[in-house]
Amino acid sequence: MSPNPSAELLDNLLTVTGQATAVREEVRVWSMSGVERVTFPDGSTAIFKYAKEPFDSEDQALRLAHTLGVPVPQVHASAVLDGWLGMIMEDLGPSVREADDLDGVAAAVVLHGTRTAPPLGVLDQEPLRKLPDRALEHLGRLRKADRWQDADDVEDTLGRIAQATESRSAGATLAPFGWVHSEFHPTSLHIGEHGWRLLDFARAFTGPGLLDLASWHGTIEPPHPVRLRVFLEQYVSAGGTPDALTPRGGLTAENWALGWHRMWAVEWFMEQAIRWIDDPTTDPAYIKAVRRHLSDVLHLFAI
């Protein structure tokens, strides 16, 4: 894949939108994507976002969400160049405050109440059950590359979890089942003068909405089932389906959600390590995160 072609992408998008030039200002940039504010000669502004695979179809998800009535920033133009997506988007301006739990449940109720959309990938019981096996495949590739050699414990733990997933994955399609944002955190919810907008749809899919609710409080701290139970009850009170509180897979709704969210994160981290980032210098950080999350899964799934 070619080096980051953001300058050329922006030039293409400026042409499409009828703008001659724009002044770029970085908002947030990392190795796989970037967000910039661009200012046009007339003083108006827009957001320029660019990202490489697997984040290169966010424009489709945002347009779909917009069409179905989810409050999202409008995509004015998008283009793909050398495996990178570029988008010119509506500039929502500064947020008036940080999103809180009640904002989160309100947004989740709207998103999860939106009809499912065929273009989105599906994560139902079978692919959910296969997450530990997929993680083991990533581990095999890492080891063939002479990496993660001291991670026998990771292999053992994934094997133990894989044996339990037949029963623990039951209930995957209980409501709420549909749109899953998958990066559902307070930082992905913009609270502006004219209401809220949901950002960062690069990894949206169709699946168990409880994964969104489990992700809201992040993964830096240990999982907190009691706090998630309160959040689920707030979600139901705000109009979310009462089935969100239904036990599944032999577990409480909150333990099921937190356990599967951590397992989903483990598989994603390991795929990043071997496929998307593929940088051996990041291995210690990835191994540490994977070990921590796998320990959480064992505890939450009562294995």
pLDDT tens readout for residues 89-113: 999 999 999 999 999 999 999 999 9
pLDDT of residue 119: 81
For helices 283-300 and 253-271, give the axis angle rounded to 10 degrees: 160
Q: Is the pLDDT of residue 2 over 80?
A: no
The string of pLDDT tens digits covering residues 235-284 is 999 999 999 999 999 999 999 999 999 999 999 999 999 998 889 999 99
Both 83 and 105 in a single domain? no
Q: Average pLDDT of 173-202?
A: 96
- 290 pLDDT above the threshold of 70: yes
Mean pLDDT within 210-216:
98
The reply to whether 20 and 82 lie within a common domain is: yes
β-pairing, 75-81 vs 189-192, is unpaired
Q: Could you tell me if 212 and 255 lie in one domain?
A: yes
Integer Cα distance of 171 and 186 in angstroms: 27
Residue 58, in any domain of the structure? yes
pLDDT at 116: 84
Percent share of the chain, pLDDT over 70: 99
Helical residues (DSSP H) of 84-241, grouped into ranges:
101-112, 125-129, 131-144, 152-168, 210-215, 225-237
- pTM value? 0.94
Instruction: Please indicate, yes or no, whether residues 81 and 118 belong to a single structural domain of this protein.
Output: no
- If residue 48 lies in a helix (H) or strand (E), which one and from where to where? strand 45-52
Are residues 26 and 135 both part of a single domain?
no
Same domain as 109, residue 64: no
Q: Based on the domain organization, do 62 and 116 belong to the same domain?
A: no
Which of 89, 122, 137 terminates a domain? The answer is: 89
**Is residue 218 a part of any domain in this protein?**
yes
Average pLDDT, the chain: 95
pLDDT band at 25 (very low <50, low <70, confident <90, very high): very high
108 with 236, same domain: the answer is yes
Final residue of a domain: which of 39, 58, 89? Answer: 89
Residues 47 and 121 both lie in one domain: no
Cα-based torsion angle of the residue sequence 221, 223, 227, 228 in order, rounded to the nearest 10 degrees: 130
Residue 298: pLDDT band with limits 50, 70, 90: very high
State which residues form the domain around 66.
6-89
Number of domains the chain is built from: 2
Amino acid at 72: V
Establish if 131 belongs to a structural domain: yes
CATH number, domain with residue 71: 3.30.200.20
Same domain, 80 and 133: no
Is residue 274 in some structural domain? yes
Residue where a domain stops, chosen among 89, 114, 139:
89
